[in-house]
Amino acid sequence: MGVSGSGKSTVTAALAQRLRVPFADGDDLHPEANIAKMSRGEALDDGDRFPWLEAVGRWLADHEHGGVIACSALRRTYRDQLRRHVADVLFVHLDGSPEIFQRRQAGRSGHFMPPSLLASQLATLEPLEPDEHGLVIDVDQSVDAIVDQFMTSDRP
């Protein structure tokens, strides 16, 4: 989980490969209307997110032997929605400074999420709470180092 530019797609693909479980990018589950809205620089509202989060939750539930999916899951209520599908889902919050996210967004092309939406994502972000099954990892390191940190962590 994390904001745009945190490396969710890259890190989760590498993590899934290391864990030898299926991988999906939650962006691929967005309805066309959501993609069009974000491409216009408009932030999604909860009504836009609900069907998308349901699709993410169904993907997780369909992979009962494990899977890794990239999903922003910015608010507690969104994570609660995913937990209704898989109660013991583990969230990995890819955290960092706004400057890192801005730099990463500026360096990519062809992504539907414009850098102008970063501020709204940062304003929406609710960090993991102590009772949530998850951990926070700083993104200001290599993908391998992030995956290694997950693999060696005392996962809750």
Whether 113 maps to a domain, the answer reads: yes
CA–CA distance, 37 with 26 (Å, rounded to integer): 16
At 30 the pLDDT is 92
Whether 3 maps to a domain, the answer reads: no
Averaged over 110-122, what is the pLDDT?
Answer: 69
Query: What's the CATH number where 112 sits?
Result: 3.40.50.300
Averaged over 98-121, what is the pLDDT?
Answer: 69
Could you tell me which residue, 99 or 112, shows the higher pLDDT? 99
| Structural Rg of the chain based on CA atoms | 15
Whether 1 maps to a domain, the answer reads: no
Whether 116 maps to a domain, the answer reads: yes
Distance set, CA 154 to CA 12, 124, 134, 150 (Å) = 18, 28, 10, 8
44-91 residue pLDDT tens: 889 999 999 999 999 999 999 999 999 999 999 999 999 999 999 999
Which amino acid is present at 153?
A: S
Contacts of 155 (CB under 8 A, 6+ apart): 90, 135
Domain that holds residue 123: 8-152
Whether 12 maps to a domain, the answer reads: yes
Q: Which residue has the tokens 């899934």?
A: 16
Whether 61 maps to a domain, the answer reads: yes
CA–CA distance, 155 with 72 (Å, rounded to integer): 20
> If you average pLDDT over every residue of the chain, what do you get?
90
Whether 2 maps to a domain, the answer reads: no
Whether 119 maps to a domain, the answer reads: yes
By C-alpha distance, which of 52, 99, 102 is closest to 78?
52
Residue 104 has pLDDT above 90, yes or no: no
Count Cβ atoms within 10 A of the Cβ of residue 130 and give its class: 0-12 exposed, 13-18 middle, 19 or more buried. Answer: exposed
At 47 the pLDDT is 93
Domain count, the chain: 1
